[in-house]
Structure 1
Amino acid sequence: MNYIRQLGVLIACCVAGDALSILLHGALPGNVLGLTLLLLLLIFGPIRLNHVEHTADFLLQNMAFFFLPACLGVLEIFAQIKIEILAMLAVCVLTTLCTATATAFTVHIVFRLQHRESEEAFDHD
């Protein structure tokens, strides 16, 4: 019964997020608003972590099930997209490399800034 109550809390946040999205005329997606609402409720205390923890852990551990409809949808239209599969794979590889490069440069810059700040603090002492 505990799982059903916890699932009810999570579904209520999702439905409230969807309703809020409708009121905002779709300015923000309902799922984002629902998660934001859940976060605010957790931060400010009406909902405690133990009110949703076990069901949320179960959903996270079984997240692969939520990707099945998307994978099946791709398989359903594979005949239409197979002529462009090399271009799509090239885009995936290229964007992955760009993301990794941008992340590496960002980390490098942050490390250099942190090292410089620690040297300046050491010089002042």
Structure 2
Amino acid sequence: MNYLKQLGVLLACCIAGEALSILLQRRLPGNVLGMALLLLCLVCGVIRLSHVERTADFLLQNMAFLFLPACLGVLEIFADIQSEIAAIIAVCVLTTLCTAAATALTVHVIFKRQRRGGKEASNHD
């Protein structure tokens, strides 16, 4: 599948997520719903990984460009948020540490379960 068709599939999921968000009266963000719809379509086989893989890889490899508008927006309002910069940095550091801790705990639990599952499989033989 060429890049434009793959991008079309990704955009269709994004637009469907936004539409669903509007139907749910914006209780959930459209971009999150679009990603969930894409995941559901991939799991159910409605969309094959080959239908989106190349374009998704390209977007992931060039993700920094997608953050430029947000960074420039922050620079525009920097004078307004300058008095709160210490609090913003503290929140960023704290949430980063919490995310890292949650990830490490999840990996630890998964590895522990996999080891336990392997031992149980060998005991049955």
Measured on the aligned residues, the alpha-carbon RMSD in Å equals 3.1
The Cα of 1:102 is off from its aligned counterpart by 6.5
Q: How does 1:40-79 map to 2 (within 5 A)?
A: 40-79=40-79
Q: How does 1:19-98 map to 2 (within 5 A)?
A: 19-97=19-97
Q: How does 1:99-114 map to 2 (within 5 A)?
A: 106=105, 110=109
1:45-73 Cα deviation digits (max 9, x unpaired): 12111111100000011111111111001
User: What's the counterpart of residue 14 of structure 1?
Assistant: 14
Q: Which secondary structure does the structure 2 equivalent of 1:32 belong to? A: helix
Q: How many residues align?
A: 118
2: distance between equivalents of 1:10 and 1:29?
16
**Consecutive unaligned residues in structure 1, runs of 5 or more:** none
1: distance between equivalents of 2:42 and 2:96?
34
1: distance between equivalents of 2:32 and 2:53?
19
Amino acid corresponding to residue 21 of structure 2 in structure 1: S
1: distance between equivalents of 2:4 and 2:57?
14
TM-score (norm 2): 0.74
Change (3 A) 1:102 1:44: closer
Change (3 A) 1:17 1:95: closer
Amino acid corresponding to residue 19 of structure 1 in structure 2: A
1: distance between equivalents of 2:99 and 2:6?
37
- After TM superposition, the structure 1 stretch with the greater mean CA deviation from structure 2, 19-28 or 59-68, is 19-28
2: distance between equivalents of 1:99 and 1:9?
30
2: distance between equivalents of 1:11 and 1:59?
12
The Cα of 1:84 is off from its aligned counterpart by 2.4
**Consecutive unaligned residues in structure 2, runs of 5 or more:** 121-125
Change (3 A) 1:30 1:101: closer
